[in-house]
Amino acid sequence: MKKIFIFCVAVLLLSGCQATNVPNSGTEDTSSVVNDGWINANNSSNSQNSSSVGDGLQNSTSNYIDQNNSSVPSVDNLGEDKTELDLSGFQRNMNINSLLRLPTACKTEKGYYLQNEGLLYFFDNELGRMIVVCGKPECSHNDVDCNAWINSKLLSYYDGKLYYVNGDAIHNSYKTLCSMNLDGTDHTDVQVIQISEPSWSVNCADPVFVNSTIYFMERDHSVYRVSLGQKVENAVKLIDGEPEDMHQTSEWKFWADGENAYAMNRYMDNNGDEHDSLYWLGENSANTRKIWSSSQIVSSTSDNASWYIMDGKLYYYASGNELWNIDLNSGNSEKISLSGNTNGGTAAFTDENIIILSANGREIMTFDFGGAKKANIDLSSIYQTYSDIVGSDLIFADGDSVFLLAYHKTFMSPSSALYQIDWVNGRFREVDTWPGAAVNFEPEDHEYWIQVG
């Protein structure tokens, strides 16, 4: 039985409040720190370079520069390089697995936005630094009045604004789509995207925003679509809800690919086997339909199975040297064999590559969609730097980079190290201003968690 964790909103508020030493970066002196912290991956003799970087076991503030928000990106300062940026509101490689400590991410012309403990950070790719997205003078960035507070399971970039969904009781007990500027200003409620009364609910799909349409799930697992700016009374039901006894064993994830929207349902059958079923989401329930099932290729899917839909094709990694390419129009499946020890690993995708983290977390392998291996990155020096790392998750991959969150002492620990891995050049660096790096955590501190199931 899969372990399912609940995270209490009140506890989330509390943990957000504990984000002391919130990092920030000045814009001065950039030339001397560009590319700082890179470690050659396949040459462990360089690992000592990282020994002083962001030691998560110390509560040091020495890595942080005094609060100065001059580098929060300005909306007037948007630039170049829109070529590879998906501006539909849905960025498939950023549609991450909603990890507790890094639940949402999106990409703008300026760089990445990442969320940790309810607060939004800008990641300066050049400097490798996290910057809290709040320019309020005197703000301590630890309460709901902070401009960086979003506490959201959705983060989208659309028409020059960031969109998020806030559902904490302080803001509005109904889940509400909100917009904000890239510099953290002008938070605006756009529309409610919840029909039923607020109540304790878990295991709902995270909403997605694509091409001015929002897809969301109610707590009974019914699926709706509603247009941007519309009242929730105008939402159209696409899929009926599920019986309550299925709610713990059925998970959903939305997706979009061009004009097409999808929902993948992972559920457990009576034998304890798990399956994925893919639904194409139409204008209404009559033309929404199930179009694929993982039982066509595997008898039971693993927890680590992951997938990516692009240009009408479903790439399905069944976590065991098996990558499948399924044409969603014809239904034809093609198995792509991957060389190397990919058994049990977890995957992240870009439009060009599948990147696999080995089951023991010590190695990253990159393949193209033909199955050709493009890179092999040895992560051993991470474990030499931090002997207390017990596990890691791939967050997302983009271009030449893949981001990895490694947990200190216990899985999903709030004390974590974020790594950017440049697999093309065989190097990686710790993002030393990642807020999880400044958290001291002892596993006895059970107040962070409520576990059910």
Adjacent-strand bridge partners of 260? 257
Minimum Å gap between C-beta 381 and Zn ion is: 35
Which range touches Zn ion (CB under 5 A), out of 134-142, 162-170, 260-268, 358-366?
134-142
Q: Which of residues 240-299 bind Zn ion (CB under 5 A)?
A: none
d(CA 307, CA 317): 6
SS3 content of the chain, % helix, strand, coil (to 5): 10, 35, 55
Minimum Å gap between C-beta 137 and Zn ion is: 10
Minimum Å gap between C-beta 149 and Zn ion is: 8
Residue environment code for 334-365, b if the CB has 16+ CB neighbours within 10 A, otherwise e = eebebeeebebbbbbbbeebbbbbbeebebbb
How many residues of this chain interact with Zn ion, rule: CB under 5 A?
Answer: 5
Interaction of residue 120 with Zn ion, rule CB under 5 A: no
Which range touches Zn ion (CB under 5 A), out of 143-151, 248-256, 375-383, 399-407?
143-151
Minimum Å gap between C-beta 372 and Zn ion is: 46
Tokens, residue 153? 């399971």
Interaction of residue 134 with Zn ion, rule CB under 5 A: yes
Q: Which of residues 321-350 bind Zn ion (CB under 5 A)?
A: none
Of the candidates 92, 141, 253, 313, which one interacts with Zn ion according to CB under 5 A? Answer: 141
Interaction of residue 19 with Zn ion, rule CB under 5 A: no
d(CA 356, CA 412): 19
The residue among 72 and 405 lying less far from Zn ion, judged by its C-beta, is 72
* C-alpha dist (Å) from residue 347 to 132, 401, 437: 28, 14, 24
d(CA 220, CA 270): 20
The residue among 22 and 365 lying less far from Zn ion, judged by its C-beta, is 22
Tokens, residue 218? 């109610």
The closest alpha carbon to 223, from 210, 209, 240, belongs to 240
Minimum Å gap between C-beta 60 and Zn ion is: 22
The residue among 17 and 57 lying less far from Zn ion, judged by its C-beta, is 17
d(CA 334, CA 341): 21
Interaction of residue 146 with Zn ion, rule CB under 5 A: yes
| CA angle (438 as vertex; 432, 443 as ends), nearest 5 | 125
The residue among 139 and 239 lying less far from Zn ion, judged by its C-beta, is 139
The residue among 134 and 397 lying less far from Zn ion, judged by its C-beta, is 134
Minimum Å gap between C-beta 131 and Zn ion is: 11
Q: What is the DSSP string of 85-135?
A: ---SS--GGG-----SSS--EEE-SS-EEEEETTEEEEEETTTTEEEES--
Identify the DSSP state of 235.
Answer: -
Which range touches Zn ion (CB under 5 A), out of 126-134, 213-221, 247-255, 412-420?
126-134
The residue among 139 and 195 lying less far from Zn ion, judged by its C-beta, is 139
Of the candidates 120, 127, 139, 256, which one interacts with Zn ion according to CB under 5 A? Answer: 139
Binding residues for Zn ion, per CB under 5 A?
134, 136, 139, 141, 146
